[in-house]
Amino acid sequence: MLRLTLAQMRRSIGRLAAAGIAIMIGAAFVAATLLSGEVLTRTTYDAAASQYGDADLVITQATLADSDLAALAAVDGVQAVQPLDTGGADLTGPGGHAWVTVAGRADDPRLDAVSATDGSLPAADDEIALPERVADQLGVGIGDQVQSTVQSWAADATQPTDHLSTLRVVGLVDAPSAFLSDGGVAVVTKSVAHDWLALSWGGQDVTYWSASVTLAPGTSTADATTRISQLLDGTGTLVRTRDEQAAANAAELSGSTWALTGVVLGFAAVALLVASLVIANTFQVLVAQRTRTLALLRCVGAERRQLQRGVLIEATLLGLATSAAGVLLGIGLVQATLTVLGDTTDVPLPSTITMTPAVVLVPLLVGTLVTVLASLAPARAATRVAPLAALRPADTSVHQRSGRVRAWLAGVLVVVGAGGLALGMAVATAMSMPLGLVVGMLGGTLSFVGVMVGAVFWVPGLLARLGRLGGRSAAARLAAANAVRNPRRVATTSGALFIGVTLVAMMSTGAASVTRTFTSELNSHYPVDVVLESVAMDSDGNPALPSDLVDEVSAVDGVAASAVVQQAVGLTVTGPDGDQTSVDVYAGDATALAGVLNDADQAAALGDGTILLGESDAASLGVGVGDRVPVTGPDGVLDLEVTATDSAMAMVTTSTLAGLDHGAPASDLWLALAPGADPTSAVTDIQDITGAETDVVVQVIGLAVERAFFQRVVDTLLAVVVGLLGVAVVIAMVGVTNTLSLSVLERRRESATLRAIGMTRAQLRSSLAIEGLLVALVGTLVGALLGIVYGWIGAQILLSEVTSVALAVPWRDLGLVLLVAVAAGLLASVLPARSATRTPPVEALASE
Amino acid sequence: MTHITQTPPTSAIRARGLTKVYGSGEAAVHALRGVDVDVATGAFTAIMGPSGSGKSTLLHLLAGLDGATAGGVWLGETELTALGDTALTRLRRDRVGFVFQQFNLLPMFTAEQNITLPLEIAGRPLDRAWFDTLVSTLGLGDRLDHRPSELSGGQQQRVAIARALVTRPDVVFADEPTGNLDSRAGAQVLSFLRTSVRELGRTIVMVTHDPSAAAYADRVLLLADGLIAGDIADPTPESVLAGLDALRALDEVH
Ligand SMILES: Nc1ncnc2c1ncn2[C@@H]1O[C@H](COP(=O)(O)OP(=O)(O)OP(=O)(O)O)[C@@H](O)[C@H]1O
Ligand SMILES: [Mg+2]
């Protein structure tokens, strides 16, 4: 029997390999995720450990004065003590200047956190060793001189005092990861380091938060720990071994690392689920194609169990082989990534991966298990083949009736699931968001499973309808008829795609809605992109901005519009009940303001005789939109109509302000950035201009930078999530190709007949292209639609605390998904079409 | 057998020096070794011969389903052996009909859809009157909405014949059309084929093993070892059997 299984596998090797790709990708995904998790954990551990050098013990959460350090060094068994707190200095060289973290030499070389890669570590007080990158920046090498500047602040000084010294570079040091964010650590002698730190403490006595300790050879670590703890008794100080301390540091960081790995493994599970559908389909087709062979075996006396075992053995072998290939692929990918990153970034990643048994075994087991599980149903189908089937002419078209139970199950799941979603939304608004989220997720999962279970019913129906849109040509009609021939098969194929697309669409819709909601929130909180405001040094009110500054700033690259704004400080607004509030009112030309305000509603609300009020002012006065309020200024009283109560600040037009406080200085400049302009560089340019200003002090508030940052975080997260889910979509596409090729193989005789009765190659090819397109489109369209609904509901629940959720459809992303589906559907038909059109028409006449 | 060098206007199909070799070198099989055939328009011709004698091969070449190794085939004025794949496909679509031993109906289409399929492929409108004639002559009126799996073998073959005739082809080729049918269903099919020649003016070439089936034809061509070995006009089952016996006797001499 095993011999027969192997022979059959060899015959279908191409088809099995195609299905195996799905499992391979899934297993590679799992292996790569586990490996990356290991790499991340190791990187954080190394980073945490490196700063301690080869210390035996690490003291943290201490308050160690110099005397304490001396006392520690005198403890029995302690060889050396090195404080771990670092100071900093500004260094200047011929090439420029740089700020570096500075550490002192340790008494015991084992405690030096860095080692010299070139030259040596400083031995005299006029020597310094620099990180290579800093040396490059300063334009110096070994033997060159650099100037250091350390600032100290005297107790009541308004200006810092600079302390200069000249040092000779004696060595270059590597940059251990712990100091990475500072660009590495420069090393000076112990006394220089102490002096500089003392300067920056402004004359107070320096105390250290942490220190590392080496022990004399032969000293028991436990005893030394006890003695040190006794010495530092009662201050909440922790004494740990280096490894304990590194593990504790790493744990703080890697809690999130493993959480991240868990999430990514979730995506891998989705990919594997999709792969299992592809496998199930492939085996179903294989069993259907082998009906005759299987029946013949039954005729000559094979038992049902033997046939079933044959299919399962086949699945196990396939699962093992492709999972192993997947593990190799995953390992290769991560190693390649490490190699590339090692060359291009300064992040101290390990140069090679660390293999653990889990990295190999988990994907291998999971991949094989998924394959075998997926083949269970087809294996059962194999046992149902009656011996008589060998005698009947092969009829590959299946007209199974799908069970009533299945229909009921699907219907109930969808209805209950939809109810859960609605309940989730209600709970989130009325009670608590987390509870609503749980209920909503449950509802979403149930309804999704329902839709999947019911795929056998809706996929063929939808295909037929879509097919009718494809036109009345013979190719299109043939495609539509072929696509729905085997409802179960096409339902699984489309279903696999449907899972991936739904999740992608859900994520991007949710993210788009969240972004849109926050954008409208931001619009009312931060009405303009950039604000320049002259800052008053006393209480007389802010001075006007110089007009040449206004011109210069308006000319900056990326600035699209500007409005000069007057600021009237402390006008009095009286509410209907006589309540009075002092309000700072901003005023500008209505047209100019309309050009810079982000919220179009606010711009429209601005006109002569009106006032826009902030939320809190409006609330304390008890006024609403449409009310009229008297506003009192130094130059008069005006009755103004309130046209907005959600503005970030009180606003009127210039001519309105003229009647209240015509002398208010034009102290603000509001800017709008061009769409697509980089806010960070624009704001930096503006800061360069204002920094050069000597007459007034100008504060630049880059609201756009904040918003861009927020946007970038959301975009990056979304890209990562969509990328990971994209793997599932790719696997599903492999499934579409595979199913289509298998179907085409089954239809060899039909293809030949069609060619014999006059169908051209081009017609046959386009028929298959349409078929591929239909199958791909059904899964994609329904998936996108359902994804939008889930995304919306999800956003609604997550943002239930926000007043109004703005629902958005990410048309661009969905369009992209659709485009990919169309392309993949067409692509999926290329190979099958080649084999179909190559079938000579003579084969239609051949008897078997 | 006389060779006609000038094609008479009544000749629907003409083949000259038709040769077909499968494979090459040691393994080469000479299925046809220079066959000359003329089939008159409006004739019902049967091809017979022992298994492996090259009957199916000859039919494929005459119908433009396969290319010849040497020699030429003319359908009316058109030389098939000079056409490319697309032109050949068009010609099959517009001027040739096929009836297969295995029926070869498309399982997902109804009988009616199967019959009209060639017109759809060609993008030609359906001639309702002709369709009705075919359906009623073949007795398929109440079976049009059925799928092939719901039809008997004889009914399926009649659907296949309707499909072959719906485009009003110049020639209909049939390879053992009664091979999968019982004698009663076979007789129905054969008498319809003869009717379509007599009353509808079609030209039919049929391969068969059955002498009584061959007796429905106007003429029987005997094929042996890739060569024409006999030509019986107005055959009866007896004369066909006698011809086949003569062939066998010839074989035994070799
Ligand atoms: N595709 C092919 N490749 C190789 N040899 C072939 C091929 N088709 C036919 N032959 C060979 O050509 C010869 C003629 O075959 P053909 O099918 O024409 O015979 P036939 O007269 O139709 O026989 P039967 O009555 O059994 O159908 C045979 O020897 C056969 O083995
Ligand atoms: Mg034959």
Contact A210, A58 (CB under 8 A): yes
Q: Is B54 in the pocket of ligand 1 (CB under 6 A)?
A: yes
Pull the structure tokens for residue A150: 């350390």
Distance B184 CA to ligand 1 centre (A): 29
Choose between B104 and A783: higher pLDDT: A783
Q: ipTM, 2 decimals?
A: 0.83
Distance separating alpha carbons of residues A355 and A352, to the nearest angstrom: 9
Best mutation site among B51, B59, B106, B171 for testing chain A: the one with the most A CBs within 10 Å?
B106
Token digits for B224? 């042996």
Identity of the residue in B59, B104, B117 whose CB atom sits nearest the CB atom of A749: B104
d(CA A826, CA B152): 38
Instruction: Say which of B59, B89, B123 has its CB closest to residue A755.
Output: B89
Distance (Å) from the alpha carbon of B6 to chain A's nearest alpha carbon: 30
Question: Parallel, antiparallel, or unpaired: how do β-strands B29-40 and B11-22 relate?
Answer: antiparallel
Question: Is A309 touching B (CB cutoff 8 A)?
Answer: no
What tokens were used for A807? 């629902």
pLDDT at A219 over 90: no
Question: Which pair of tokens denotes residue B217?
Answer: 């034809």
What architecture (CATH level 2) is domain B41-64+84-220+231-253?
3-Layer(aba) Sandwich (3.40)
Of B55, B61, B62, B180, the residue with max ligand 1 atoms within 8 A of its CB, to mutate for a pocket test, comes to B55
Residue (of B172, B162, B167) closest to B205 by Cα position: B172
DSSP state of A453: H
For the stretch B175-184, pLDDT in tens is 888 887 788 8
A19 neighbors A317 (Cβ within 8 angstroms)? no
- Residue A343 touches partner B, C-beta closer than 8 Å: no
Q: What is the pLDDT of residue A155?
A: 67
- Convert the pLDDT of each residue in A684-727 to its tens digit: 788 777 766 666 667 777 677 666 766 776 677 777 777 777 88
- DSSP assignment of A381-442 equals HHHT--GGGGTSPP-----PPPPHHHHHHHHHHHHHHHHHHHHHHHHHHHS-HHHHHHHHHH
pLDDT band at A831 (very low <50, low <70, confident <90, very high): confident
Lateral strand order in the sheet of B44-48: B96-99, B171-175, B203-207, B44-48, B219-224, B227-233
Classify A728 as helix, strand or coil.
helix
- Mean pLDDT, chain A, rounded, equals 80
Tens of pLDDT, residue by residue over A248-288, are 776 766 566 666 677 777 778 878 888 888 888 777 777 77
Both tokens of A43, joined, read 């990187």
DSSP state of B110: -
Instruction: For chain A, give the percent of residues with pLDDT over 70.
Output: 87
DSSP single-letter state for residue B168: -
Q: What are phi and psi of A599, to 5 degrees?
A: -95, 110
Give chain B positions within 8 Å (CB) of A397. Answer: 107-108, 149
Q: Backbone phi, then psi, for A162, in 5-degree steps?
A: -90, 135
Q: Is pLDDT of B3 > 80? A: no
CB neighbours of residue A220 within 10 Å: 11
CA A168 vs CA A105, A113, A124: distances in Å: 16, 21, 10
Terminal Cα-to-Cα distance of chain B (whole angstroms): 22
Kindly report, residue by residue over A232-259, the tens digit of the pLDDT. Answer: 776 677 888 887 877 777 676 656 666 6
Nearest CA in chain A to B167: A757
Tell me the C-alpha to C-alpha distance, in Å, between residue A699 and each of A17, A536, A561, A704, A709.
65, 10, 19, 15, 20
pLDDT of residue A845: 61
Cβ pair A563, A669 in contact under 8 A: yes
pLDDT interval class at A396 (50, 70, 90): very low
The end-to-end CA distance of chain A, in Å, is: 26
Q: Which residues of A touch B118 (CB under 8 A)?
A: 757-758
Do the Cβ atoms of A502 and A790 come closer than 8 Å? yes
Q: Could you please report the per-residue DSSP string of A290-354? A: THHHHHHHHHTT--HHHHHHHHHHHHHHHHHHHHHHHHHHHHHHHHHHHHHHHHH--S---SS--
Check residue A234 and give its pLDDT. 64
How do residues A77-113 score in pLDDT, each as one tens digit?
A: 888 888 877 777 888 777 666 778 888 888 888 888 7
Look at residue B131 and tell me whether its pLDDT is greater than 90: yes
More confident residue, A392 or A151: A151
Tokens, residue B100: 């297969």
Quick one: tokens of B243? 């011809």
Q: Convert the pLDDT of each residue in A520-573 to its tens digit.
A: 666 666 678 888 887 654 445 667 788 888 888 888 888 888 888 888 888 888
Report the share of chain B in percent with pLDDT over 70.
94
CB atoms within 10 A of CB A415: 13
No. of H helices and E strands in chain A? 25, 20
Burial of A577 (0-12, 13-18, 19+ CB in 10 A): exposed
Q: Is the CB of B2 under 6 A from ligand 1?
A: no
Say if ligand 1 is within 6 A of residue B56 CB: yes
Q: Find the length of chain A.
A: 848
A638/A658 Cα distance (integer angstroms) = 10
User: Which residues are CB-contacts of B4 (< 8 A; sequence separation ≥ 6)?
Assistant: B11, B38
Angle ∠(A280,A284,A287) on CA atoms, nearest 5 = 135
pLDDT tens by residue, A729-782 = 888 888 888 888 878 877 888 888 888 888 888 999 999 999 999 988 898 999
Structure tokens at A145: 């001189």
pLDDT at A547: 80
A395, A841, A842 ranked by CB distance to B149: nearest = A395
Q: Confirm or reject: Cβ of B97 under 6 Å from ligand 1.
A: no
Angle separating helix axes A455-469 and A433-453, nearest 10 degrees: 70
| Atom in ligand 1 nearest the alpha carbon of residue B226 | 14
Position B38 scores a pLDDT of 93
A758: left (phi over 0), alpha (psi -120 to 50) or beta: left
Identify the residue with better confidence: B133 or A47: B133
Does residue B22 have its Cβ closer than 6 Å to ligand 1? Answer: yes
Is this structure's pTM higher than 0.90? no
Mean pLDDT of B145-153: 88
Residue B22 CB coordination number (10 Å): 11
Q: Which residues contact B56 (CB under 8 A, 6 or more apart)?
A: A845, B175, B207
pLDDT band of A848, cuts 50, 70, 90: very low
A758 and B90 in contact by Cβ < 8 A?
yes
Tell me how close the Cα of A452 comes to any Cα of chain B, in angstroms: 25
Distance CA A750, CA A747 (A): 5
How much is the pLDDT for B33? 93
Going edge to edge, which strands form the sheet with A211-215? Answer: A78-83, A211-215, A57-60, A238-241
Q: Identify the residue among B100, B180, B206 best suited for mutation to test binding to A, counting A beta carbons within 10 A and taking the highest.
A: B100
d(CA A239, CA A213) in angstroms, rounded, equals 10
Dist. CA A374–CA A368, nearest whole Å: 10
Ligand 1 and B164: CB distance under 6 A: no
Quick check: A754 and B121 CB within 8 A? yes
Which residue does chain B place closest to A480, by CA atoms? Answer: B108
Q: Determine whether the shortest distance from the Cβ of B55 to ligand 1 is under 6 A.
A: yes
From the CA of B226, how far away is ligand 1's center (Å)?
Answer: 10
Q: Where are the alpha helices (DSSP H) in A646-759?
A: 654-661, 679-691, 703-746, 748-756
Buried b (16+ CB within 10 A) or exposed e, B70-107: ebebbbeebebbebeeeebbebbbebbbbbbbbbbbbb
The predicted pLDDT at position B2 comes to: 43
CA separation for the pair A747, A739 (Å, rounded): 12
For residue A160, what pLDDT band results from cuts at 50, 70 and 90? low
The 10 Å Cβ neighbour count of residue A39 is 20
Spatial contact of A837 and A765, defined as CB atoms under 8 Å apart:
yes
Pairwise CA distance, residues B11 & B38, whole Å: 6
CA distance A766 to chain B (A): 12
Write the pLDDT tens digit of every residue in A785-829.
Answer: 999 999 888 888 887 776 667 778 888 888 888 898 888 888 888
pLDDT of A5: 76
Give the span between the Cα atoms of A461 and A450, in whole angstroms.
17
Query: What pLDDT shows up at residue B217?
Result: 92
Report residue A68 as tokens: 């304490």
Which mutation among B18, B26, B29, B222 tests ligand 1's pocket best, with the greatest number of atoms within 8 A of CB?
Answer: B29
Sheet holding B11-22, edge to edge: B29-40, B11-22, B70-75, B78-79
Instruction: Find, among A101, A87, A100, the residue nearest to A200 by Cα.
Output: A87
Q: Is A316 exposed, middle or buried (0-12, 13-18, 19+ CB in 10 A)?
A: middle
How much is the pLDDT for A89?
Answer: 82
| Rounded distance between C-alpha atoms, residue A50 and residue A180, angstroms | 11
Contact A758 B93 (CB under 8 A): yes
